[in-house]
Chains A and B, each alone.
Chain A
Amino acid sequence: MSADVTTPAGQFPDSAGHFGRFGGRFVPEALVAALDELDAAYRKAMTDEEFLAEFAALLRDYAGTPSLLYPAGRFSAKIGARVLLKREDLNHTGAHKVRNVLGQALLTRRMGKRRVIAETGAGQHGVATATAAALFDLDCVVYMGEVDTERQALNVARMRMLGATVIPVTTGSRTLKDAMNEAMRDWVANVDDTHYLIGTAAGPHPFPEMVRDFVRGIGDEARQQCLDLTGGLPDAVLACVGGGSNALGIFHAFVPDTDVRLYGFEAGGDGVDTDRHAASITGGTPGVLHGARTYVLQNADGQTVESHSISAGLDYPGVGPEHAWLHDSGRARYQPVTDREAMAAFELLCRTEGIIPAIESAHALAGAVQIAPQLAAELGREPLLVVNLSGRGDKDVHTAGEYFGILDKEQ
Chain B
Amino acid sequence: MSRIGVAFDKARADGRAVLVGCMPAGFPTVEGSIAAMTAMVEAGVDVIEVEIPYSDPVMDGPVIQKASDIALAGGVRTADTLRIIEAVAATGAPVVTMTYWNPIEQYGVDAFARDLAAAGGTGLITPDLIPDEAGEWLAASDAYGLDRTFLVSPSSTDARLRMTVEHCRGFVYATAIMGVTGARSQTSDAAPVLVSRLREVTELPVGVGLGVGTGAQAATVAGYADGVIVGSALIRRLLDAPDLDAGLAALRTLSAELAEGVRNPTR
Interface residues of A (CB under 8 A from B): 1, 16, 24-30, 32-34, 171-172, 177, 181, 184-185, 188-192, 287-291, 296, 298, 300-304
A322 to B72, CA, bound (A): 31
Q: Are A288 and B101 in contact (CB under 8 A)?
A: yes
A26 to B179, CA, bound (A): 17
- Whether B202 sits at the interface, judged by CB under 8 Å, is no
A301-B107 CB under 8 A given contacts A30-B175, A34-B155, A189-B180: yes
Q: Are B179 and A188 in contact (CB under 8 A)?
A: yes
* Count of residues in B whose CB is under 8 Å from the partner chain: 41
- Whether B129 sits at the interface, judged by CB under 8 Å, is yes
Given contacts A29-B160, A302-B107, A303-B72, 20 further A-B contacts (CB under 8 A): A27-B130, A29-B130, A32-B153, A32-B156, A33-B155, A33-B160, A171-B65, A171-B69, A172-B55, A172-B69, A188-B58, A188-B59, A188-B178, A188-B180, A189-B177, A287-B106, A301-B106, A302-B102, A302-B103, A304-B55
Q: Which of A25, A27, A32, A304 is the one whose CB lies under 8 Å from B56?
A: A304
- Whether B32 sits at the interface, judged by CB under 8 Å, is no
Interface residues of B (CB under 8 A from A): 54-59, 61, 65, 69, 72, 77-78, 101-107, 127-130, 132-133, 135, 150-157, 160, 164, 175, 177-180
In whole Å, how far is A18's beta carbon from the nearest beta carbon of chain B? 9
Q: Are B130 and A301 in contact (CB under 8 A)?
A: no
In whole Å, how far is A204's beta carbon from the nearest beta carbon of chain B? 10
Q: Are A30 and B155 in contact (CB under 8 A)?
A: yes
What are the residues of chain B within 8 A of A32 when measuring CB–CB? 130, 153, 155-156, 160
A27 to B150, CA, bound (A): 12
What are the residues of chain B within 8 A of A172 when measuring CB–CB? 55-56, 69
In whole Å, how far is B103's beta carbon from the nearest beta carbon of chain A? 4
Q: Are A30 and B101 in contact (CB under 8 A)?
A: no
Q: Are B102 and A287 in contact (CB under 8 A)?
A: yes
What are the residues of chain B within 8 A of A291 when measuring CB–CB? 128
A134 to B106, CA, bound (A): 43
A302 to B55, CA, bound (A): 9
In whole Å, how far is B100's beta carbon from the nearest beta carbon of chain A? 8
Q: Are A191 and B155 in contact (CB under 8 A)?
A: yes
In whole Å, how far is A26's beta carbon from the nearest beta carbon of chain B? 5
Q: Which of B103, B104, B156 is the one whose CB lies under 8 Å from A33?
A: B156
Nearest residue, chain B, Cβ from A178: B56
Q: Are A30 and B178 in contact (CB under 8 A)?
A: yes
Q: Are A296 and B102 in contact (CB under 8 A)?
A: yes
A28-B102 CB under 8 A given contacts A171-B65, A181-B56, A181-B58: no
Nearest residue, chain A, Cβ from B99: A302
A25-B132 CB under 8 A given contacts A33-B155, A33-B157: yes
